């Protein structure tokens, strides 16, 4: 299961201090940047939504740290809660 591999990686993220980049829907912090991957922590206001987007050259893995979200991956809408992991393959619409 994917969450088995992701959970140790994100352990302690809540304690990391990074500059927050503000957006109308909330904001994000970049926790780690390398040639192979980026780790971002998103803060989404209750009842807010991000824009629908597609990434042509990268997959995404979302780990829900707290609360609940509805995520659209392609045409499917999934509900995820704290501790859940969502995998978004490249070229799929997400939002």
How many residues make up the chain in this entry? Answer: 95
Contact 62, 80 (CB under 8 A): yes
- Tens-place pLDDT, residues 71-83: 888 889 989 999 9
At 91 the pLDDT is 86
Domains (range + CATH), the chain: 2-94 (2.60.120.10)
Is-above-0.75 flag for pTM? Answer: no
Residue 16 pLDDT more than 60? no
Mean pLDDT score, 39-63: 86
Count CB atoms within 10 A of the CB of residue 54.
12
The secondary element (H helix, E strand) that includes residue 3 is helix 2-10
Say how far apart CA 33 and CA 53 lie, in whole Å: 21
Report which of residues 15 and 20 the model is more confident about. 20
Backbone Cα Rg of the chain? 13
């Amino acid at each position: 299961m994917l969450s088995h591999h992701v959970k140790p990686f994100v352990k302690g993220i809540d304690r990391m201090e990074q500059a927050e980049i503000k957006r109308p829907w909330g904001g994000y912090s970049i926790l780690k940047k390398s040639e192979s991957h980026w780790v971002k922590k998103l803060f989404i206001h209750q009842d807010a939504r991000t824009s629908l987007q597609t990434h042509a050259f990268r997959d995404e893995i979302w780990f829900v740290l707290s609360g609940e979200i509805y995520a659209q991956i392609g045409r499917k809408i999934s509900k995820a809660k704290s501790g859940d992991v969502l995998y978004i393959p490249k070229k799929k619409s997400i939002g």
